[in-house]
Amino acid sequence: MSFRFKHFIHDILRIASLNCAGKGGRVVALKRKQAGAALVEVLAGVTVMGSVAAVALHNNEATEQLALQTHAQVTASALHSAVILQQAKWAVSQGNMASGLVFSSQGIPMGVDALPQASQADCDQLWRALVSLPSPVGDRSRYWFASPRGNACRFSYHHEKLPPVHIDYHTQSGDITYTL
């Protein structure tokens, strides 16, 4: 306990322990000097520390959630920028790209083949070619996971303490959406 807080608690307890039942409502102080911390002081200190810890824990969870949302937004923006960059490279190279990706007639990266339905191989290759983050497979506490969903690839970020975040890349249109 800090020096000022300890004296504050001590003063409150001293005032509370005064005997006001004397004649004429006189205040009579206790005559005995206290050698150590009273049980009430210890309980007050524990209560205050518990309250501070509860507020700090709540703020930590809110900060983690905000960090996850920011991570999803930044990753979606990076993916969008990478798609635009690949389209520009495709346009400059007249479609002769050596990136291992297949492009649509508008220069949109589609994956490893030109089929309208996305496959697991398409999603994995798109992730590796477009986003310079670690592979979609990681440890079990937090990791990105790629999966095909019709004509889109869904990149999901899983975290052991927070709900998953999903980024959908539509291989036919190049559109990107994300959900928290």
Give bridge partners of residue 154 from the DSSP assignment: 147, 168
Name the band, by pLDDT with cuts 50, 70 and 90, for residue 16: low
Assess contact for 172 and 151: CB atoms under 8 A: yes
- pTM attached to this predicted model: 0.59
- Calpha distance 67→74 (Å, rounded): 10
Token pair of 55 as six digits? 């507020």
Say whether 4 sits in a helix, a strand or coil: helix
- Calpha distance 92→35 (Å, rounded): 84
Over pLDDT 90: what percentage of the chain? 1
Average pLDDT of the segment spanning 117-132? 83
H-type alpha helices, the chain: 3-16, 39-92, 120-130
